Amino acid sequence: MDAKRRTSIHKLREIVIGRIHVEAAQIRRGALFLINIGTPLLVGAIAGQSQAALAAVILGMAFGFADTDGPLSGRLRLLALDAGCIFFAALVGYASRGNPAMQWPLFVAITLGVGLAARTGRGLLLAGRHAAMAFTVATAIPTVGHMEVWYLFGVLVLAAASRTIDHLIAGPLARQRVVPLQSPSGRGGWLRFALAFAGAATAALWLGGTLDPTHTIWVVATTLVVMQADARASYRRIVERIAGTFAGVFAAWMITMAFHSIPIICAFVLVVAALIPHHLAKRYWLHTALIALMVLLAYDLAEFNIQGISKLLSERVIDMLLGCAMALVGTAAAFPREAVAEIEGLVDETEGGEGEAKGNSRVPTSGDDGSG
């Protein structure tokens, strides 16, 4: 009886320790997001350079996603890969501005590579997505000032330093749980997905370009993040991104209407930044809502005392809906057999939690970087 009791106590202790360990890892991730996002935000607000700091705030969030478990060398390697892909794609995109004959083939090549990278695992997929976003931004923005460049370089150094200090203090970072994705089925399934992914992203680029450059960035980013190499995951993300974006936009509208103070807006951004990495796997709608809220509040700081963000809020909802529509069409093209069945099963999956897909074996693909 005593032995059985000791065994039960030992199991209970293991469960408690395991939960504490996971919570500690989540706290560490939240702290890193807070540092990477909050530092350029506060520096820009104090120095009156919130517009220059805006890109660094968003890049700091992207670098927060470009982290992994294991030794420090692996964490820094992923950061370097992500930063290198972003820098190279932005440079190429900036060079191709005003030259459609160069811009379109490059974008198709990048997005096709991202679609194929989904088969290799999280690192290349995440860096590829960020590269495609950086290319889109670089082709859309009018110019880049010296101050913006210094902020961007500073947030890269900050991300590497904070990650190193975190590792020296607390050791390797525990793996973050993600929902396994289902591999594309059939002969040439991965190639079909890559072609559909590139097609959907290119259509989003064209559609956004018919509106204006700012729309292009958001429409393309939505398509890139929502469309997954798993039909059910894509449809689920589309639904949750719509719900999350509406929630984030509504919260941003409430905050910006109620408060016209830079310190208060900064405080809201800091709180939200620390919460971003905690809801990716199980509550993607909340994850999306927090990102939308944080980015829109950062935009509000950049446009403070100029014109506000009232128009921006409605525009972002439209961009999100257009991006989700492109992802919906792309997913249906990539998974023609599963399209109807997965949509019909989406309600059951949502009611029953994460659910388990039948048919193909699921692989531990951590493609859900949630960067956007």
Per residue in 278-310, pLDDT tens? 876 678 899 999 999 999 999 888 876 555 566
φ/ψ of residue 309, rounded to 5: -125, 15
367 located within any domain: no
SS (H, E, C) 205-235: HHHHHCCCHHHHHHHHHHHHHHCCCCHHHHH
Integer Cα distance of 167 and 146 in angstroms = 32
The 3-state DSSP class for residue 40 equals helix
Question: Which residue range(s) make up the domain with 345?
Answer: 9-176+186-351
271 located within any domain: yes
Residue 48: C-alpha distances to residues 45, 61, 148, 155, 301 (Å):
5, 21, 13, 18, 10
229 located within any domain: yes
Cα 269 to the center of its chain, rounded Å: 17
Model confidence band, residue 360 (pLDDT cutoffs 50, 70, 90): very low
| Whether pTM exceeds 0.75 | yes
24 located within any domain: yes
Handedness of CA 68, 71, 73, 76 (dihedral sign): positive
Residue 67 has pLDDT above 70, yes or no: yes
Integer Cα distance of 135 and 87 in angstroms = 9
Which one-letter amino acid corresponds to residue 104?
W
80 located within any domain: yes
Query: How many independent structural domains does the chain possess?
Result: 1
371 located within any domain: no
2 located within any domain: no
Residue 272 has pLDDT above 90, yes or no: yes
- Which residue is associated with the tokens 């403070």? 304
370 located within any domain: no
